C-alpha cells in the first residue's frame, strides 16, 4: 500500500515536472533521479521479454542501437547478447544513470542525441530497439523518423518497437494492448489538453498499433506484431 502511494506521488511529481520544464527532455532531466524508483521493476521485466525475443529469433550477436535508452534498463540486457550496443537519449541526466548502470560493459557506448534527427555516418545496426519511446514520437514527424531509422538498419536487420499498456489499462480499462482502443485516444487527448492549460505542449502521442504498422509499411518495412505478457513488440524488417 505504501509503495502504491509513493508511486502515485511520483507520477504526480513527474506530471508537474513536465508542466514546469516545458519539454520532454526537460521533464526527463528533472525526473531522472526518481525514474528507476517509479518504473524500474516494470521496465526490467519488459527488457527481459525483449531480450528473450531477440534470443529466440536468433537476432543476437551483431550491433545493436537502442533509442530512448533512459537509465539503461534495456541496454543492460542487450549488452551481454550483442557485440556492440549504442544507447541514445536526449536527456543528459538519464544518460548519466545509464552510464553508471552499464559501467561494467566495455562494449556499450552512449550518445546524447535527439532520435528524430539521429545521423550516424556509415553505421549499420542489426537490431534497433526501443522501449517506451513511441509516446514521444510526434505523428507529424514519424515517417521521416522511420525512414531515417531504416537507413541505419543492416539489410537483414530488425527494428523492434515495444509499447507498454498505458497506466489506465492496468486499472479501469484492462484490455489487450494490440486491440484498437477507443479509450486511449480520448484519454491521451484529455491529458494533452490538460497540460495545455499550463501553457505546455504535452509530449504524449497515442500510437494505435495499426497506425504504427501503416507508418512502418509506408517507410518500407514489413511488420510482425508480437504480444507477450501485455507488452506489444512490433518487429519491423525489410520485406
Ligand atoms: C519512457 S522513457 C523510457 C526509458 C527506457 N527505454 C526504459 O524503458 O526505461 C522514454 C525515454 O526516451 C527519451 N526520449 C524521448 N524522446 C526522445 C528523443 N526525441 N530523442 C532522444 N531521446 C528521447 C527520454 O529522455 C526518456 O529517457
Q: Could you tell me the CA-to-CA distances from 86 to 66, 78, 98, 124 in Å, in that order?
A: 6, 10, 11, 11
Residues in contact with 19: Cβ distance below 8 Å, sequence separation at least 6, in sequence order: 195, 198, 200
**How do the pLDDT tens digits run along the chain, 239 residues long?**
456 666 666 566 666 555 555 577 877 888 899 899 988 999 999 999 999 999 999 999 999 999 999 999 999 999 999 999 999 999 999 999 999 999 999 999 999 999 999 999 899 999 999 999 998 898 899 999 999 999 999 999 999 999 987 766 666 666 667 776 677 778 778 877 876 776 666 667 888 888 999 999 999 999 999 988 889 999 999 98
The residues facing 87 across adjacent strands are: 66, 110
Sign of the alpha-carbon torsion through 196, 71, 95, 13: positive
Residue 91 Cβ < 6 Å to ligand 1: yes
Taking the centre of ligand 1 as the mean of its atom positions, its distance from the CA of residue 160, in whole angstroms, is 15
80 Cα: distance to centroid of ligand 1 (angstroms): 21
CA 25–ligand 1 middle distance (angstroms): 8
- The pTM of this model reads 0.90
Residue minimizing CA distance to atom 20 of ligand 1: 114
Provide long-range contacts, Cβ within 8 A and 24+ apart, for 29-35: 29/91, 29/92, 29/93, 29/94, 30/93, 32/71, 32/91, 32/93, 32/94, 32/96, 32/97, 33/93, 33/97, 34/10, 35/70, 35/71, 35/94, 35/97
Amino acid at each position: 500500500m505504501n509503495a502504491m502511494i509513493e508511486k502515485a506521488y511520483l507520477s504526480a511529481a513527474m506530471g508537474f515536472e513536465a508542466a514546469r520544464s516545458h519539454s520532454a527532455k526537460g521533464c526527463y532531466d528533472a525526473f531522472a533521479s526518481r525514474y528507476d524508483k517509479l518504473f524500474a521493476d516494470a521496465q526490467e521485466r519488459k527488457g527481459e521479454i525483449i531480450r528473450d525475443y531477440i534470443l529466440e529469433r536468433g537476432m543476437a550477436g551483431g550491433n545493436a542501437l537502442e533509442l530512448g535508452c533512459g537509465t539503461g534498463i534495456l541496454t543492460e540486457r542487450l549488452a551481454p547478447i550483442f557485440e556492440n550496443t549504442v544507447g541514445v537519449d536526449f536527456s543528459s541526466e538519464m544518460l548519466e544513470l545509464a552510464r553508471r548502470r552499464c559501467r561494467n560493459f566495455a562494449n556499450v557506448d552512449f550518445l546524447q542525441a535527439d532520435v528524430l534527427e539521429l545521423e550516424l555516418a556509415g553505421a549499420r545496426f542489426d537490431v534497433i530497439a526501443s522501449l517506451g519511446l513511441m509516446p514521444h514520437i510526434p505523428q507529424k514527424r514519424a515517417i521521416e523518423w522511420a525512414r531515417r531509422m531504416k537507413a541505419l538498419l543492416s539489410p537483414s536487420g530488425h527494428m523492434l518497437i515495444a509499447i507498454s499498456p498505458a497506466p489506465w489499462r492496468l486499472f479501469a480499462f484492462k484490455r489487450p494492448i494490440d486491440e484498437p482502443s477507443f479509450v486511449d485516444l480520448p484519454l491521451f487527448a484529455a491529458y494533452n489538453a490538460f497540460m495545455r492549460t499550463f501553457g505546455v505542449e504535452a509530449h504524449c502521442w497515442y500510437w494505435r498499433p495499426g497506425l504504427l504498422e501503416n507508418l512502418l509499411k509506408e517507410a518500407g518495412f514489413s511488420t510482425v506484431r508480437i504480444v507477450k505478457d501485455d507488452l506489444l513488440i512490433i518487429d519491423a524488417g525489410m520485406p
